[in-house]
Amino acid sequence: MRPRLSQYILYCTSFVLIGGALYLRIISYPVISADYVSSLSHWLDALRGSPGLEAFAKPFSDYPPLYLYALKGISYLPGFDLYWIKTLSVVFDVVLALTAVTIVTKTLGGRMTPPYRLLTFAVIFAIPTVILNGALWGQCDVIYATCVLLSLYAMLTDRPVAAVCFFALAFSLKLQSVFLAPVICGYVLAKNGGWRLVILVPLIFAATLLPAAAAGGSFGYLFFTYFRQAGEFHQLSLSAPSIFSLVDLHASTPSMYSSFAAIGYVICLLVVSTVIIQSVRLFSWRQAQDGRTIGEEMESRFNRRLVFVSLISALAVPFFLPHMHERYFYLADVLSTVYALIDPRRFYIPLIVVTSSFFAYMSFLSSSVPFFGRLIINLGIFGGSIFILLVSLLPRFLSIGDRILTAPPRPRGT
């Protein structure tokens, strides 16, 4: 295929994706989600009904304050609150896509052409669950995911302070940011004295609580928000395509239920430990270069492996953890797509991950969009698919550190 023709196809594909994604967002705006009715609208009423941040004097939300500060700003705006909530998420949809472009560009280097850069933006912007999560559901997962991707980019460019700070901001927004925590831990452990940077996470989190605490909120109550969140739900799976979707939970006895949860925690601990070890091996190799020029191909290979390890962390941790919601695979949706854009031969990874997340959304969203009720499928199918995917990726993941120097040069992939 001639270069001009291939570039023309990439541009046309990108514009179609962006146009389609914008159209779907526009028609999603009027949808009123159950979460808005039961939570977000009440939070806004509490914030609007008190001057400044005085609403924090009495607990009114199970979220940490950082996102609630944004809702306070929205409470001053005219018009329908839900539209502003969704607009905030859509703005971050754009920022998320731009951040993904920087990661793919950093990884591919000179092979990143302008049409492929636009295609990268378009594909991330058009991820179905990204569209549903913000523009239809009115959720804010895109904000913490953007901070996580910025943290990943900081690791790619070897800026430890920025990496930890962006991760701390993500953690201050959503607890699900911890799905990338094993990679961050591996990064700081591989740096000489880098472990000291870990203190920035609780410090930044605490700093985000100060305005609410100064307005009369209990600092201790706010600080332990995530501990209360962890005890809100007791189901092994809340419509998540996790390992527990393979089990008939309704037929489980209490002892079996507890055993399943314990097994999940043990496997998750093994996953976290392994990701930390593999991350340390990766970053230790780069640390050992001691500033030497390693060449574009070697740097690209290292970056691909780091994105891959981050994907495994974001996918495997929520897959084996009990009490996960359908939205908790949001970060895996984004990272799997980023990885496939870096290595198009791995297109099947986001195809499995994003499809699984998409159909997991249907059960909850069907109350707002009746048509989605027709798309409810047994999640065991998708839990099994992700499990097979993880098993197939395991050999590559376990050998990821060994192959940095030994793998033959290739234009794409690990």
284 CB contacts (<8 Å, ≥6 apart)?
190
DSSP 232: T
Closest CA to 93 of 35, 135, 153: 135
263-295 burial code (b ≥16 CB/10 A, e <16)? ebeeebeebbebbbebbbbbbebbbeeeeeebe
What is the distance between the alpha carbons of residues 221 and 64, in angstroms, rounded to a whole number? 10
Residue 294 phi/psi, 5-degree rounding, is -105, -5
What pLDDT shows up at residue 410? 44
What pLDDT shows up at residue 292? 60
**229: number of Cβ within 10 Å:** 15
User: Cβ distance 333 to 148 under 8 Å?
Assistant: no
CA distances to 17, 108, 132, 145 from 13, rounded to whole Å, are 6, 20, 21, 25
What is the distance between the alpha carbons of residues 184 and 179, in angstroms, rounded to a whole number? 10
CA distances to 15, 154, 361 from 33, rounded to whole Å, are 29, 35, 12
Rg (CA), the chain: 21
Closest CA to 108 of 292, 293, 299, 345: 299
What pLDDT shows up at residue 412? 43
194 CB contacts (<8 Å, ≥6 apart)?
160, 187, 188
Q: Is 369 exposed, middle or buried (0-12, 13-18, 19+ CB in 10 A)?
A: middle
Helix (H) or strand (E) holding 324: strand 324-325
Residue 212 identity (one-letter amino acid):
A
The length of the chain, given as a count of residues: 414
User: Cβ distance 342 to 307 under 8 Å?
Assistant: yes
With a cut of 50, list the residues of the chain below it in pLDDT: 405, 407-414
What pLDDT shows up at residue 403? 55
CA distances to 151, 155, 174, 251, 275 from 185, rounded to whole Å, are 12, 11, 18, 39, 9
Share of the chain above pLDDT 90, in %: 80
What pLDDT shows up at residue 230? 75
User: Cβ distance 174 to 205 under 8 Å?
Assistant: no
Per DSSP, the three-state class of 325 is: strand
Closest CA to 317 of 412, 408, 183, 206: 183
User: Cβ distance 264 to 244 under 8 Å?
Assistant: yes
Per DSSP, the three-state class of 247 is: coil
Torsion angle defined by CA atoms of residues 67, 69, 70 and 76, in that order, rounded to the nearest 10 degrees: 150
Residue 150 identity (one-letter amino acid):
L
Closest CA to 127 of 148, 100, 102: 100
252-284 pLDDT, tens digit per residue, is 667 777 888 899 999 999 999 999 999 999 998
